[in-house]
A = this chain, B = another copy of it.
């Protein structure tokens, strides 16, 4: 056996471990982002009411909240610098790094935004928009991390987590529009429609979350949706949809809306803790398993090189390996060969590694489907915004309506839209 053949086998295992360590760093990043997003969502909600009330309401809460946000930001920035900028093995994904840079650019201007809010130089809508863009930029980083994951189980948790975050963000936007709308004392048809769209968007993301969630997570979601806050929010939603646009709302409705929506979002945040704990446990176990396999590979190779060179089974005569079309030998499972020469054991090690990698690939493909579809929808939305000068809401609505008309999935419509826009435009 040529020594470099064994070196390539070990290098393959080491590359797998390196990828898992990077994945582990990405998972910690996702956990820190989840926390920061939660704090930014709270800050957005509080700032909104603070501005709408002419700085009368929530001034003290806002000061407290800024401390929470700053603390979450500090934690995330520390993790980012340690694990990405000063890591011995730098991250090799330009997509992830570029996404982080974009979100950080937003963070760098957060102090300015807060000052404008403090001085009331900005409307509630403008402030809400700014916070929402920042949150969207961080969610894009989470989606990118999920896309980079090289392990199917971890990818599944990341997909669940992204979709829970996305559901919570739509819930936050629903809360914001409700709060801003009620300030006017009326529920316009436009507002009612927008609230409905955001409720549908929550259902869509929650369905994907449930598809990839563990049964414990699914159960906690059911409890959350059965909670008093969620039920009362649902009653308010129904009531608002049924009100004529001319009906006048009492200010207390706005307070109730904000409180129920906030309670439900906080419950989602607790569920998120369940997911991030699962994620940490899973990545630690996966890295350990891969490192043990590398040790086993090393031991086995040392044993093999100590033995005299034998012919044994090689790729050249393995009937289970593809090669010549029409070869008459029916392949057998490798166990049935009964060859125990050292050559066989090394080849066995190689075959197992190849089989392991094929298996990982196949499982990943399946878990990644949801990510590919999400990215396709995001891309179609962005192109509709750029080419057709639609707002994000109009773009999403167009995709959603086409899907209903053509009775197909929104991801399929998105794919067709991307093709048409890029070719036509």
Interface set of A (CB-CB < 8 Å, partner B): 1-2, 4-9, 11-16, 18-19, 77, 80-81, 84-85, 90-95, 97-110, 112-113, 125-126, 128-137, 170, 173, 176-177, 194, 197-198, 201, 311, 314-318, 320-331, 333, 343, 346-347, 350-351, 353-354, 357-358, 361-362, 378-379, 381-382, 385-386, 389-393, 396, 418, 422
Contact = CB atoms under 8 A, between A and B. Distances in A.
Q: How many copies does the complex hold?
A: 2
Nearest to A328: B391
Per DSSP, chain A at the interface is helix
Given A92-B92, A320-B386, A315 B109 contact: yes
Given A85-B4, A315-B102, A331-B385, A133 B346 contact: no
A170 B326 CA distance: 11
Contact of A357 (B98, B350, B362): B98
Nearest to A330: B389
A8 B315 contact: no
Instruction: Specify which of A9, A99, A314 lies most central, judged by the most chain B CB atoms within 10 Å of its CB.
Output: A314
A93 B130 CA distance: 39
B392 A323 contact: yes
Instruction: Specify which of A2, A8, A99, A132 lies most central, judged by the most chain B CB atoms within 10 Å of its CB.
Output: A8
Given A357-B98, A362-B379, A134 B316 contact: yes
Contacts of A318: 133
B385 A353 contact: no
A112 B392 CA distance: 66
Given A91-B15, A133-B318, A318-B133, A8 B101 contact: yes
5 closest Cβ contacts across the A-B interface? A133-B323, A132-B323, A12-B97, A8-B101, A132-B324
